[in-house]
């Protein structure tokens, strides 16, 4: 296969992260192939947006399921790198249908790995795992103030790193955690150049979130359209937020340093400086929007982490990557993107995207 025919493959590439990654790569002149089964709300709009750009001649779209080996083989055979984003992404959905969750997240990943293993020179592979592989972190003692939980042990202020023990909770945590471990084992056993990102909360344009996944965008849509907001628990749970542009930078840093990153898992997120609680996020949205809709507090969700912040020291030291977008700037960018998106009538109601 000649060099000019090589391309970057993004599984689940019509989703929020995949769309932003494809956009970045296409702008730099790469040829990109998206594999997606178009099962999520908003993905067709994302593809339409990509196809409207001037670089669309370098964009290929394969409508297929990650579990379909026959569909994967011809696409992966000429891939120079693979970003594996395709997944069932919601804890609640995994509780409702654990077999489907297993089939997509674990069996789909294993199908992909087997195709790559059969290749003479397999491409670089980056897999997006989750912070849920660390469990609910219930062993971390927390103190509570008016807006957030914080660790009693100040040494945890810097966050959770890769040395933290794995403790899969929920079918989603098990399927993503199992896929995470399969990726690392294939790197060890078969010498696949593969890297795992255990990601915290990612946010940014082209995110059509719901209360189970993509919650920052979900709240912004609700605030702008004055729709009631449901909070599970008391709203003091803390997450570190990473803006999508910073995540794409991390993806490309890993690819550029693939020999150093191969066979390793990294916690990836915004870190302590980008950590917010739900209540703090809503207060900031109130300052931008002028008001927020009524809040409804519901029961805590099973396995929910009260405090999770990523310690990205390992990846930063290895590659030189640093996140650059302050959390308030990133939230403003997403807020105005959502506002413009609604005004453009690309979507008619919030129900169209938060089913």
What are the catalytic residues?
172
Buried b (16+ CB within 10 A) or exposed e, 176-213: bbbbbbbbbebbeeeebbbbbbbbbbbbbbbbbbbbbb
Bridge partners of residue 150, in order along the sequence:
143
Q: What tokens were used for 125?
A: 């592979």
Residue with tokens 């109601």: 349
- The backbone region for 120, taken as left when phi is positive above 0, alpha when psi lies in -120 to 50, beta otherwise, is alpha
- Six token digits for residue 355: 């089913």
CA distances from 138 to 91, 134, 302, 303, 308 (A): 17, 10, 12, 9, 11
DSSP conformational letter for 37: -
- According to DSSP, the residues that pair with 160 across neighbouring strands are 310
- The answer to whether 191 and 121 have CB atoms below 8 angstroms apart is no
Read off the tokens for 278: 């739900």
C-alpha separations of 245 from 55, 86, 342 in Å: 19, 19, 22
Residue with tokens 């790559």: 116
The Cα–Cα gap between 286 and 217 comes to 14
């Amino acid at each position: 296969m000649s060099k000019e025919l090589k391309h970057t493959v993004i599984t689940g590439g019509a989703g929020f992260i995949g769309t932003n990654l494809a956009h970045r790569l296409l702008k730099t002149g790469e040829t990109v192939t998206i594999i997606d089964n178009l099962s999520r709300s908003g993905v067709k709009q994302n593809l339409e947006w990509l196809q409207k750009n001037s670089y669309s001649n370098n964009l290929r779209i394969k409508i297929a399921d990650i579990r379909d080996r026959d569909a994967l083989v011809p696409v992966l055979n000429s891939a120079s790198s693979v970003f594996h984003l395709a997944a069932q992404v919601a804890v609640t959905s995994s509780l409702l249908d654990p077999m489907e969750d297993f089939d997509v997240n674990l069996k789909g990943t294993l199908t992909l790995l087997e195709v790559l293993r059969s290749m003479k020179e397999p491409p670089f592979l980056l897999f997006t795992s989750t912070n849920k592989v660390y469990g609910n972190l219930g062993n971390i003692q927390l103190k509570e103030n008016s807006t957030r939980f914080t660790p009693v042990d100040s040494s945890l202020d810097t966050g959770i790193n890769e040395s933290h023990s794995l403790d899969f909770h929920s079918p989603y945590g098990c399927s993503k955690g199992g896929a995470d471990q399969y990726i690392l084992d294939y790197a060890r056993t078969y010498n696949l150049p593969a890297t795992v990102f255990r990601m915290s909360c990612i946010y940014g344009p082209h995110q059509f979130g719901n209360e189970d996944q993509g919650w920052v965008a979900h709240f912004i849509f609700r605030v702008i359209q004055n729709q009631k907001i449901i909070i599970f628990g008391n709203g003091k749970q803390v997450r570190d937020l990473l803006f999508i542009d910073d995540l794409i930078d991390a993806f490309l840093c890993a690819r550029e340093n693939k020999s150093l990153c191969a066979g390793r898992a990294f916690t990836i997120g915004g870190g302590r400086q980008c950590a917010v609680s739900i209540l703090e996020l809503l207060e900031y949205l109130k300052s931008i929007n002028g008001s927020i809709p009524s809040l409804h507090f519901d029961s805590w969700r099973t396995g929910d982490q009260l405090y999770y912040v990523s310690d990205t020291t390992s990846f930063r030291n290895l590659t030189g990557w640093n996140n650059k977008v302050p959390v308030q700037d990133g939230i403003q960018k997403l807020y105005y993107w959502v506002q413009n998106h609604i005004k453009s009538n690309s979507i008619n109601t919030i129900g169209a995207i938060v089913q």
